[in-house]
Amino acid sequence: MIQDLIKDRRSVFPPQYIDMAIPKKNLDQILEAANWAPNHKNTEPWRFKVLQGGAKVKLGKFLSEKYQQIAERPQQVKIKKLGTYPVKSAAVIAICMQRDPKESVPEWEEVAAVAMAVQNMWLTCTEMGIGCYWSSPPLIDFMDEFFDLAEGEKCLGFLYMGYYEEELSRGTRKPISEKVVWLE
């Protein structure tokens, strides 16, 4: 049931991943789910760059080096995390948004559409037993130095993905009644 899938969705971080590749057919299915996200005026602003193998190593190196360049006081823990998260992942998907050249909708609507595409991917991963985590560090502002981004395209973060073995706890939420006002 979709409600159970939504409640079971969790952030699963790269240190929790096991060394097991995600088959391309599964990645294709995850990306196809993203492609069916709602979007205003059919701008379909989502763009993805899938990194595997050596590309993940290059991304980790870029992120850790860029962080050391821009941080006032680089922290060793952060340097290591930025370098190893991509490598520990079976795949990393760079989440990008292509701004509609006509600007037919406000930018926030295109960002929201990309977020819905990511939610579709995340739910599909949950159904497949693949863990994932959306990271959007300030370093995404420099991704035009790593990727060949099109004009009007920007990176909104990374979806780190991998299989895991540990049991995940079910999340908790405050009651929805505390967050809703009914008007008649």
At CA 88, angle to CA 160 and CA 95, rounded to 5?
A: 20
pLDDT at site 54? 98
Q: Is 177 annotated as a binding residue?
A: no
pLDDT at site 171? 85
Asked if 49 and 147 touch (Cβ cutoff 8 Å), the reply is yes
Q: Is 135 annotated as a binding residue?
A: yes
Q: Is 182 annotated as a binding residue?
A: no
Q: Is 9 annotated as a binding residue?
A: yes
Query: pLDDT digit of tens for each residue in the chain (184 aa)?
Result: 899 888 999 999 999 999 999 999 999 999 999 999 999 999 999 999 999 999 999 999 999 999 999 999 999 999 999 999 999 999 999 999 999 999 999 999 999 999 999 999 999 999 999 999 999 988 999 999 999 999 999 999 999 999 999 999 888 999 999 999 999 9
Instruction: Indicate left, alpha or beta for 157 from its phi (over 0: left) and psi (-120 to 50: alpha).
Output: left
pLDDT at site 30? 98
Please give the domain boundaries of the chain with CATH numbers for all domains: 2-178 (3.40.109.10)
Q: Is 136 annotated as a binding residue?
A: yes
pLDDT at site 140? 94
Question: For residue 102, what is the DSSP state?
Answer: T
Q: Is 36 annotated as a binding residue?
A: no
pLDDT at site 136? 93
pLDDT at site 137? 87
